[in-house]
Structure 1
């Protein structure tokens, strides 16, 4: 039995854990789980820099609502704030001494089919740890009254932690939940880990066999959550919170991008595309989906935000217009006014033109100039000035403003 002192948990207020233990009073086990345990062990036993803990995940072998409500009643509203109870899920959230605590009842999971949401049942701490993604995330610190927590490590997590490897808990981990592949890339990029050989083999073999009932090209309304919305959630975390270029590079090096789309595996400009999108202020998720073989299908499957879906729909139209109507013509001789008129006649949103710039088409430079400068050019005379010159409000004024703007555009090279 390994005991870990409270000093191994940097950044946690000193009274927080004793207050939790006092509330439990030995009725059931309460354990710290997940990334906080992993990072604490990295810091305490392997001299890794301490990680900032935005929140703490705890598992309780009892009613989380009763525990959370009891904490607020005992400690008061000054120490316990933002209490939220979710009885239907067996969870609760609260802020204790300024630290966000996520409480979850110990549970076990059964996957009715690969990639589907699991069926959840209340259980014990050991079963709860067995349902997790990697061995280094399947360790728990059982909170004790003496301040020395008991480390529960059932799957050799400490060994893999020392080797800085990610190992799955069982042979069907990826089949059950393919989002674990993206999670592996997130952790490897952030922590400097690598997949254990068995984990890499499982990723390759599972995606190669494709054990899920839904396949690429099937109707998106039948896609299992782990290949749809849950995959998008992991992708958003990867792109928003992690060293995304390194994480995407890892996914490509593991040859697992076909989980999203085969073109994302073979596109040599993928990382550069996202860097360019970032410089243009575009959402990374939209830029990534735009590189897919069928952006519309992938956007619908992942259920990305509606506005981004509309941008991608318009991007497909803009691409067709460029290929069919622009590139066959002597577009290189078009001036600022000609390009502006052609781009604005169909009212392409600026974000759509920016996505086309990222496509690196032959005519990307005038597209970029329109996006960055030409679209902002206004008439040289204001409506008030034109009215003062005798122009009547209405269509006549609109035409005068357009001609004035055209003159301004003709002066730009």
Structure 2
């Protein structure tokens, strides 16, 4: 049998069957291996002191009973459930319940986590747990801004963040964090309708704002945008918001208070006002105006102006350059900027519409100079 015959015959053989797809795993992508630990608090609201301990002591330091369940993985005990505090029954009943009466005293941030679990899973906070939560509410004032912000960040990252924040408000926890950390139906609507969050590329926002997820950055900005500047500064300080958010939030508050005065402003005046403002602040105002609430004061016309600034106005520039002015005999100096700004404003306000009209205006400005 020739080699060519063997090749020909092999070419007609059916292809081997495709390998079956690997079964999808429901396991997490990562697993943490830790030593069983116990902990104690030297005083209320302090961070815990941690020592090695038994599995029972380790589970006892959890925040809620539904987080105290453990499965054995060893030999013939594989799959046995450790449930010392009724966590499995609470899980079936949809109940968020703390392990001991001073749990919220030891760590007041557990109050925020209780709400997060309640709203995430559609559970309810147990009656006694709720009583203890309300009693411990003033202790939140002793928790550092960094720890509180970490819990708020976790809530903001959740799919139903608006409902969680509404629940925090209902329980008086937002006011306990800071008296000016208010919440209302307008904010609930804003945050609920935030996603899908896909701003036009013209806003230059991307998926992150200076390494902060855009959703989180925008929620904090919308949350504070209607506050007077002094009150916003107080909340920013209390939550120890990062520098990347401080300036946009302050700028957004200033912009929001200025919007009524901008309703009759020329495009050139609006452009001059917006050029120094971070795009996150402008975008937050743009989103907020979409549903400004009962005191809209004609904001919808301003919303169109904000979009026009982002998509057109900020990129408009005159044909004339500084080199052209020098060629016309003008010495470099402050007059350069004044003339170029006047030319640009004329384009923005529709006073000139072509290059010839720009030259006519330039001639007049040079004569006046």
Task: Please give the range of the TM-score, normalised by the shorter of the 2 chains.
Answer: 0.5 to 0.7
Q: Equivalent residue of 1:109, what SS? A: strand
Counterpart of 1:408 (choices 332, 347, 364) is 347
Choose between structure 1 and 2: higher strand proportion. 1
CA RMSD of aligned residues (A): 3.5
Task: Indicate if the aligned counterparts of 2:263 and 2:301 stay in contact, CA closer than 8 A.
Answer: no
Question: Which residue is 1:283 aligned to?
Answer: 218
Q: Give how far 1:146 is off.
A: 3.8
Gaps of 5+ in 2: 1-22, 200-213, 352-369
Task: Indicate if the aligned counterparts of 1:296 and 1:312 stay in contact, CA closer than 8 A.
Answer: no
Question: Which residue is 2:268 aligned to?
Answer: 337
Matches of residues 238-257 of structure 1 in structure 2 within 5 Å? 238-257=155-174
Question: Which residue is 1:374 aligned to?
Answer: 309
Q: Give how far 1:277 is off.
A: 6.6
Counterpart of 1:224 (choices 143, 152, 171) is 143
Task: Indicate if the aligned counterparts of 2:115 and 2:164 stay in contact, CA closer than 8 A.
Answer: yes
Q: Give how far 1:356 is off.
A: 4.7
Aligned pairs, number: 299
Task: Give TM-score, length-normalised by structure 2.
Answer: 0.68
Q: Equivalent residue of 2:79, what SS? A: strand
Task: Indicate if the aligned counterparts of 2:218 and 2:280 stay in contact, CA closer than 8 A.
Answer: no
Equivalents in 1 of 2:188, 2:332: separation in Å? 49
Equivalents in 2 of 1:387, 1:373: separation in Å? 29
Query: Does 2:97 align with 1:167?
Result: yes
Equivalents in 2 of 1:119, 1:11: separation in Å? 40
Matches of residues 127-206 of structure 1 in structure 2 within 5 Å? 127-146=57-76, 148-206=78-136
Q: Give how far 1:232 is off.
A: 1.1
Flag the 1:291–1:161 CA change in 2: closer, same or farther, 3 A: farther
Which entry has the higher C-alpha Rg, 1 or 2?
A: 2
Equivalents in 2 of 1:405, 1:277: separation in Å? 35
Q: Give how far 1:312 is off.
A: 2.8
Equivalents in 2 of 1:264, 1:300: separation in Å? 12
Flag the 1:263–1:302 CA change in 2: closer, same or farther, 3 A: closer
Flag the 1:292–1:154 CA change in 2: closer, same or farther, 3 A: farther
Counterpart of 1:306 (choices 243, 250, 256) is 243
Equivalents in 1 of 2:340, 2:27: separation in Å? 56
Task: Give TM-score, length-normalised by structure 1.
Answer: 0.61
Flag the 1:266–1:355 CA change in 2: closer, same or farther, 3 A: same
Task: Indicate if the aligned counterparts of 1:255 and 1:265 stay in contact, CA closer than 8 A.
Answer: no
Flag the 1:163–1:128 CA change in 2: closer, same or farther, 3 A: same
Flag the 1:269–1:112 CA change in 2: closer, same or farther, 3 A: farther
Query: Does 2:255 align with 1:351?
Result: no
Flag the 1:147–1:108 CA change in 2: closer, same or farther, 3 A: closer
Equivalents in 1 of 2:121, 2:331: separation in Å? 64
Q: Equivalent residue of 2:43, what SS? A: coil
> 114-123 or 159-168, which moves further after superposition?
114-123
Flag the 1:157–1:399 CA change in 2: closer, same or farther, 3 A: same
Flag the 1:393–1:306 CA change in 2: closer, same or farther, 3 A: farther
Q: Equivalent residue of 1:333, what SS? A: coil
Equivalents in 1 of 2:176, 2:285: separation in Å? 25
